[in-house]
Chains A and B, each alone.
Chain A
């Protein structure tokens, strides 16, 4: 694995008035890594993603994505980062190909180049069956897979996935996780994703970070976290137990 750092934050802070959403976050993610970002709802995960994309301005602190400052150069960051928002939406009265074509045009990709690419991606996420079906008629799992295809359309170096498996059946989320895993191993893509489903995170992440109330309370490889918290080898503890331990400590 290439050890080049592609995402770095230094004391990154976002406050909405009195409420601190992200508190002095320090994070380093290397190229090709799958980084699982954990935490309860409202812990500041999405806010962090938005700041890394330049969609939200940090109150203080700095961030770099592939060497670019997202606040100053949002366009350069958006060109190399694919972002899948939580509950991604599509234009329901267009079909999958039209939706993807629109996004590829926004990325300045020429249509004749984009079309074969779209076919290829739809095959990758197993959606090539009925190209004329309107996206409005898609099931949740299909939409989520279309979202993954859309994110990959611009050949990103990094992808941010916000709850990619939320509300999917086990089969659907397994498919998505497989796609994520293969992207990371085959294309050396950096994946930064947030999730609540701890066993899934454990399955595919190289490293995890745990956010509680805006603070990053732990970050590292799962086995290292287990050693740190319980003083034993990781095999005995699942990520869930580690997470709950941190969570209870955070509560008290």
Chain B
């Protein structure tokens, strides 16, 4: 245990003093503040002279204002934070020849990788919690609505999910830093993997779905089942992407009016407001049960990739060269 804590403590100190992290952190902080401000003022204008709907507070995080919502923002750029925190975790130690020294100290070998992962996870948690708190604070001032206990719970779940989502990328980039000897290679590999899983997988999903269950428009007219099976295949493949899992999971958690993970209609805040007049919001446990598979898959893939890097690292020969 001392080993893990010592490694973790040193890594934290390194992270806090490293320039690239400070830069990224500032960037994310600034952008999320700007987003919150735009969304907040937008909401205030729209809510003028109308009765405030329930869960207006959560709209701060979900409605996209002029640019994008915070959820979309974290879904896009959160992975970068994870990658930046982990891409040189092990191969940097290797190239500066400190790894052989570390493993010859009386600590279990896994203490090194656990300590590094723990330090990364702590950094990510600090980042997510402070961003959410800042936006909440700003939102309180801008729209003047205090969140109820259920909204706070939803936010907590959202934060946990975000932390796992970014930790997934931390795990991936650490795995690459173990497998690839060169820091540049592991960074590029992690970014390539990120682009692939986040952006190209959806294209790929349609193509694979076309191949597995092709839809002939004429046949589909008679047999709508075809369309359904096509859609199911496409969805199943797109769930490989942690970004899909994360954004569908979190939007459902943060938006009590959502009763399915799919957003079929693009809705502006006004449409949403009018819907909320006629529909009852889902209770928290119902929202959770809709996205439980998403949540579990997200946590599971995070753990799988960490376990993978763990076992690769434990088996690797340590040579000074």
In the complex, the answer to whether A102 meets B10 with C-beta atoms within 8 Å is yes
Complex Cα distance, B100 from A19, in Å, reads 23
CB distance from A94 to the nearest CB of B (A): 9
Of residues B100, B103, B317, which shows the largest number of chain A Cβ atoms within 10 Å of its Cβ?
B100
* Binding stretch for chain A, among B52-60, B105-113, B293-301: B105-113
B3 is an interface residue with CB less than 8 A from chain A? yes
Interface residues in A, total, Cβ within 8 A: 29
The A/B interface has a contact count, at CB < 8 Å, of 64
Residues on A with beta carbons closer than 8 Å to the beta carbon of B320: 46, 85-87, 162
CB-CB under 8 A from B105, the residues of chain A are 78, 103, 106-107
B104 contacts which of A55, A76, A90, A91 (Cβ < 8 Å)? A55
A46 CB contacts on chain B under 8 angstroms: 319-320
**Nearest B-chain residue to A150, judged by Cβ:** B101
Closest chain A CB from B4 CB (angstroms):
10
Q: Check: B2 CB closer than 8 A to any chain A CB.
A: yes
Query: Contacts A89-B101, A91-B96 given: A102-B318 contact, CB under 8 Å?
Result: no
**A50 to chain B: which residues have CB within 8 Å?**
318-319
Most chain B CB within a 10 A radius of its CB, from A78, A87, A89, A103: A89
Asked whether B102 is an interface residue with its Cβ less than 8 Å from the other chain, the reply is yes
Q: Report how far A250 CA is from B103 CA in the complex, Å.
A: 34
A180: min CB distance to chain B, Å? 18
Query: A132 at interface (Cβ–Cβ under 8 A)?
Result: no
Which residues of chain B have C-beta atoms less than 8 A from A83's C-beta?
Answer: 101, 104
**B6 contacts A106, CB within 8 Å?**
yes
* CB-defined contacts of B97 to chain A, threshold 8 Å: 85, 87-89
A108 pairs with B318, CB closer than 8 A: no
Question: B319, A78: Cβ atoms under 8 Å?
Answer: no
Measured in the bound complex, the distance between the Cα atoms of B321 and A87 in whole Å is 9
- CB closest residue in chain B, given A47: B319
Q: Verify A75–B106 contact, CB threshold 8 A.
A: yes
Distance to closest chain A CB from B183 (angstroms): 14
CB contact under 8 A between A85 and B10, given known A56-B317, A78-B106, A106-B107: no
Q: Is B98 an interface residue (CB 8 A)?
A: yes
**A75 to chain B: which residues have CB within 8 Å?**
106-108
- The answer, yes or no, to whether A216 is at the interface (CB within 8 Å) is no
Closest to B93 in A: A89
Taking the closest CB of chain B, its distance from the CB of A134, in whole angstroms, is 12
Closest B residue to A153 by beta carbon equals: B105
With A106-B105, A106-B107 known, 9 other A-B pairs at CB within 8 A are: A56-B317, A56-B318, A78-B104, A83-B104, A90-B96, A91-B98, A106-B102, A107-B106, A108-B2
A residues whose Cβ falls under 8 Å from a Cβ of B:
46, 50, 53, 55-56, 75-76, 78-79, 81, 83, 85-93, 102-103, 105-108, 150, 154, 162
